[in-house]
């Protein structure tokens, strides 16, 4: 809703005019050996509180990944918003013993006001027993910007 000429502006409206940003980095490696299950990447959770419906979010996930010595496969990164995986993934087909950084940008609308939780998740398409199918600590990151309508 726009601010009209001559309208008395409230402090709550002015507070919403500036987008808010936050960032989080993985604090532990997410190891995906012997499993193809999706797992939460520890340390990459951000919780925000919106004051009005229809806030817009933009999230950027960077996934520092490597795959073990005995297999090749896909490394897949997800953004989970309020318990549901957002559409779009960060994906990379990797050969054995390789390391790469992959990224994805997500944009969406939070239909309701209140608390919202964003987190990164990771998965591999191969359940190899070799050590090294990981999303690495410190270099796997989530950057989030929230813009609330005035």
Question: Does residue 45 belong to any structural domain of this protein?
Answer: yes
List the beta bridge partners of residue 145. Answer: 21, 58
In a domain, 4, yes or no: no
The domain total for the chain is 1
* pLDDT for position 3: 74
In a domain, 12, yes or no: no
Write down the pTM of the prediction: 0.88
Residue 1's DSSP bridge partners are none
pLDDT of 150: 77
Choose among 48, 50, 51, 58: nearest CA to 117: 48
Q: Is residue 127 part of a domain?
A: yes
Residue 94 within a domain: yes
11 belongs to a structural domain: no
For position 35, what pLDDT does the model report? 83
| Residue 131, pLDDT score | 65
Assess if residue 62 is contained within a domain: yes
| pLDDT beneath 50: ranges in the chain | none
Structural domain for 140, as ranges: 17-147
CATH code (residue 54): 2.60.120.40
Q: 72, 66, 78: which is closest to 136 by C-alpha?
A: 66
Residue 6 domain-assigned?
Answer: no
């Amino acid at each position: 809703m726009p601010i009209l000429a001559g309208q008395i502006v409230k402090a709550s409206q002015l507070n919403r005019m500036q987008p808010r940003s936050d960032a989080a980095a993985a604090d532990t490696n997410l190891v995906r050996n012997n499993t193809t299950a999706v797992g939460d990447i520890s340390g990459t959770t951000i919780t925000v509180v919106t004051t009005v419906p229809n806030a817009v979010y933009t999230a950027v996930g960077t996934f520092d990944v490597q795959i073990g010595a005995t297999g090749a496969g896909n490394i897949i990164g997800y953004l989970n918003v309020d318990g549901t995986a957002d559409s779009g993934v960060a994906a990379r087909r990797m050969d054995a013993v390789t390391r790469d950084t992959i990224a994805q940008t997500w944009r969406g609308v939070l239909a309701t006001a209140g608390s919202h939780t964003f987190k990164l998740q990771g998965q591999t398409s191969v359940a190899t027993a070799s050590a090294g199918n990981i999303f690495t600590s410190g270099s796997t990151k989530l950057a989030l910007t929230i813009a609330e309508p005035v």
